[in-house]
């Protein structure tokens, strides 16, 4: 029963690629935003915080539609990126990655922000008296101490990106081999007669990938935590 068809493999590999790219591109931006929210007071901070969390509370279809009208071929940002950089999101897998990244972003930022807020700033002061400038304080003290939060954020974002459905299908549709992720494929299989077996196989795959990500995160977080408290 557990023979995956080539189409199913394609959906799985595509899902992994989209989720990985979305998470890795979102990571540096997420760390920067988390640091800003944790450490800086600036005009519009509440607005930025709200905007980031919006995909969490909006219906995903709404987020997808907003992406379509801004990042689509005719959208202001989409047209600009296509004309000057040749980057096209519409009906492409990187469009799916964008949608997944946006949906996962609040889940990425929140644990990192909490981890940074929990760091004793006196340690950062000590680092600066030892000759570290602001960037090095961040790289050598803040970031390593925020590592457990970083791992948690990465896993949540990756899991969200892997399972994202509504925003992706609204923004870049459901094209096999290009934008059809595991979730979209499962949905498609459940819509056609006799697709139950294929849908079932993909459901199992989704469970296995998600569990593996969870276990890996738990293991990494424990290792990072151990470094602070033991030898």
Partner 1 sequence: MSVLALDVEKRLGAFSICARFESAGGVTALFGSSGAGKTTLVNMIAGLIAPDRGRIVLDHITLFDSSSGTNVPVHRRRIGYVFQEGRLFPHLTVAGNLDYGRRMSALAPDPAEMERIVHLLDIGQLLERRPGKLSGGERQRVAVGRALLMRPRLLLLDEPLASLDEARKREILPYLERLRDEARVPMVYVSHNAAELARLASSVVWLDAGAVHAVGGVKLLERRPA
Query: Smallest distance, Å, CB 36 to partner 1?
Result: 21
Helices 196-229 and 147-163: angle between axes, nearest 10 degrees: 170
Query: Smallest distance, Å, CB 229 to partner 1?
Result: 5
Query: Smallest distance, Å, CB 152 to partner 1?
Result: 17
Nearer to partner 1, 71 or 138 (CB): 138
DSSP letter assigned to residue 181: -
Nearer to partner 1, 124 or 164 (CB): 124
Nearer to partner 1, 55 or 148 (CB): 148
Torsions phi, psi for 86 (to 5 deg): 70, 20
Planar angle of CA 148, 133, 222, nearest 5 degrees: 10
Q: Is 80 helix (H, G, I), strand (E, B) or coil?
A: helix
Nearer to partner 1, 94 or 115 (CB): 115
Query: Smallest distance, Å, CB 139 to partner 1?
Result: 11
Among 48, 78, 81, 84, smallest CA distance to 66 is for 78
- Summarize as ranges the residues that interact with partner 1 (CB under 8 A): 120, 122-123, 125-133, 136, 140-141, 144-145, 147, 227-231
């Amino acid at each position: 029963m557990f023979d995956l068809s080539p189409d199913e493999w394609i959906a799985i590999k595509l899902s992994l690629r989209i989720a990985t790219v979305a998470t890795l591109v979102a990571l540096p931006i997420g760390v920067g935003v988390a640091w800003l929210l944790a450490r800086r007071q600036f005009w519009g901070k509440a607005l930025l915080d709200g905007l980031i969390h919006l995909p969490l509370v909006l219906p995903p279809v709404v987020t997808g539609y907003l992406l379509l009208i801004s990042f689509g071929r005719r959208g202001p940002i989409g047209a600009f990126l296509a004309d000057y950089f040749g980057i096209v999101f519409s009906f492409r897998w990187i469009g799916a990655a964008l949608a997944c990244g946006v949906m996962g972003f609040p889940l990425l930022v929140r644990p990192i922000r909490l981890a940074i807020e929990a760091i004793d700033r006196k340690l950062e002061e000590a680092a600066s008296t030892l000759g570290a400038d602001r960037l090095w304080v961040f790289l050598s003290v803040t970031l390593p101490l925020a590592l457990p939060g970083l791992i948690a954020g990465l896993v949540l974002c990756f899991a969200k990106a892997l399972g994202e459905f509504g925003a992706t299908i609204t923004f870049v549709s459901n094209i096999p081999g290009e934008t059809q992720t595991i979730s979209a494929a499962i949905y498609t299989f459940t819509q056609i007669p006799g697709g139950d077996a294929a849908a079932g196989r993909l459901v199992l795959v989704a469970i296995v990938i998600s569990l593996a990500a969870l276990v890996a995160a738990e293991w990494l977080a424990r290792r990072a935590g151990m470094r602070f408290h033991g030898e």
